[in-house]
């Protein structure tokens, strides 16, 4: 049911931990499943994501998607990091079962929340970035679960 890559990133998650004095920190949750993800980004003066770490209190797919999402944003510009969508994370993991797609949304939203935090701290506006939700289950249809 899970791809080898998902199992690998679940069993050997990359970038677990925190970044002290991170440039941006994003925390999002999903009230329906109770999972919470926090992503830390270290962004340099050139606007390049130098490091990314995560702490996830959640299911295996949430751990695997946080691991892959942090791998994907490292070395990227802010605009490129914004393109690390849940679809990109899922593709990099060779797919997720349909009931687990929402876990990858948590990763996308946590990255956006960390970028939002960075933008607020620096008084800048990141083009194309909307204010992230704290709870991604807000406003979603019941039948998606
Ligand atoms: Fe909710 Fe995976 S079950 S994030």
- pTM given for the model: 0.93
- Ligand 1, residues at Cβ distance < 6 Å: 30, 33, 35, 58-59, 61-62, 102-103, 106
Q: Compute, in angstroms, the gap from residue 108 CA to the centroid of ligand 1.
A: 13
pLDDT tens string 81-106: 999 999 999 999 999 999 999 999 99
Ligand 1 atom closest to the Cα of residue 60 is: 2
Q: What is the mean pLDDT of residues 19-24?
A: 98
Most ligand 1 atoms within 8 A of CB, residue of 55, 58, 97 to mutate: 58
Q: Write down all domains in the chain, each with its CATH number in brackets.
A: 4-122 (3.90.1010.10)
Query: Which sequence positions are flagged as catalytic?
Result: 33, 103
Flag whether pLDDT at 143 surpasses 50.
Answer: no
Per-residue confidence (pLDDT) for residue 141, from 0 to 100: 54
Percent share of the chain, pLDDT over 70: 95
Flag whether pLDDT at 33 surpasses 90.
Answer: yes
pLDDT tens string 97-133: 999 999 999 999 999 999 999 999 999 999 999 998 8
pLDDT category at 1 given cuts 50, 70, 90 is confident
pLDDT category at 144 given cuts 50, 70, 90 is very low
Closest residue by Cα to atom 1, ligand 1, is 33
How is residue 17 written in tokens?
């931990």
Mean pLDDT computed over every residue of the chain: 94
Q: Compute, in angstroms, the gap from residue 35 CA to the centroid of ligand 1.
A: 6
Ligand 1 atom closest to the Cα of residue 100 is: 2
Q: Compute, in angstroms, the gap from residue 104 CA to the centroid of ligand 1.
A: 8
Flag whether pLDDT at 145 surpasses 50.
Answer: no
């Amino acid at each position: 049911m899970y791809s080898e890559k998902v199992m690998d990133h679940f069993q050997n998650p990359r970038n677990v931990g925190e970044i002290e004095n991170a440039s941006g920190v994003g925390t999002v949750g999903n009230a329906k499943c109770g999972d919470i993800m926090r992503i830390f980004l270290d962004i340099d003066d050139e606007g390049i994501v130098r490091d990314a770490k995560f702490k996830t209190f959640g299911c295996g797919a949430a751990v695997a998607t946080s691991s892959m999402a942090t791998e994907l944003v490292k070395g990227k510009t802010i605009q490129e990091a914004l393109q690390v969508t849940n679809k990109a994370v899922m593709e990099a993991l060779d797919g997720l079962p349909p009931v687990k797609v929402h876990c990858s949304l948590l990763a996308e939203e946590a990255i956006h929340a960390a970028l939002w935090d960075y933008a607020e701290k620096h008084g800048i506006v990141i083009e194309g970035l909307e204010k992230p939700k704290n709870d991604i289950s807000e406003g979603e249809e019941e039948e998606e679960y």
